[in-house]
Every structure is written in C-alpha cells, then in structure tokens.
Amino acid sequence: MTNQKLYHAHIEACVEAMNACNLSYVANLKEYNLEKLCECIRITRECAEICSFTAQSLSQGSQFAGEIAELCAKVCEACIAECAKHDNQHSRECIEACRYCVEMCKDLMVAV
C-alpha cells in the first residue's frame, strides 16, 4: 500500500485544516480592527503552512511522519486557542477543522 493511501484520512484532515485556516486568515484581513486580530492572523497563516507541509510530507512518505504530525498537532492546538477568542463563523470553522486535524495527527503519532 502506498503512503498516500495509507495516510489518506490524515492528509485530508491536514488539507481541510489548511483550507479553514486560510479562509479565516483572509476573513480576518478584511476586518476593520486588525490590531485586535493580529495574533489570530499570524497563527492561522502559520497553521495553514504547517498543515500544508504535513500533508505534503505524508503524501511523500516522510520518515519523520510522526514528528511532523506532532508539530502539526501543536500548531493546530495553538490555532484553536487563539480562534476561540473570536466569535465569528470562520473562526468556529477553523476550530472545528483544526480539532479534527489534531485528532488525526495524534492517531498518526501512535500508528507510526
């Protein structure tokens, strides 16, 4: 079985979190009170990048899959904590996608 098939659900979770983070990032940039959202903008962008990197690494069969998944889970947890401070739909969607990504990353860490 190829790594991409083996990690299919994990890759999808990372891509979903990446997309939700990117949408939240862009939505936050359109707000008027950017100073209030500065940390949320930073962490959603960073989380999107880490989730993208994780999906790419898993699809390429990285020997560091467990360590990369651990980092991804940590960044997603930080993103969840920051987005929870903001009451809007895109933050809630980001939280939901990141929670699932954390769950899948932790599953991967145990499996590897």
At 55-103, the pLDDT tens digits run 999 999 899 999 999 999 999 999 999 999 998 999 999 999 999 999 9
Residue bearing the bigger pLDDT, 2 or 110? 110
The model's confidence at residue 1, banded by pLDDT at 50, 70 and 90, is very low
Structure confidence by residue, pLDDT tens digits, 11-65: 999 999 999 999 999 999 888 887 888 899 999 999 999 999 999 999 998 999 9
**Residue 112 CA: distances (Å) to CA of 1, 66, 68, 105:** 15, 6, 11, 10
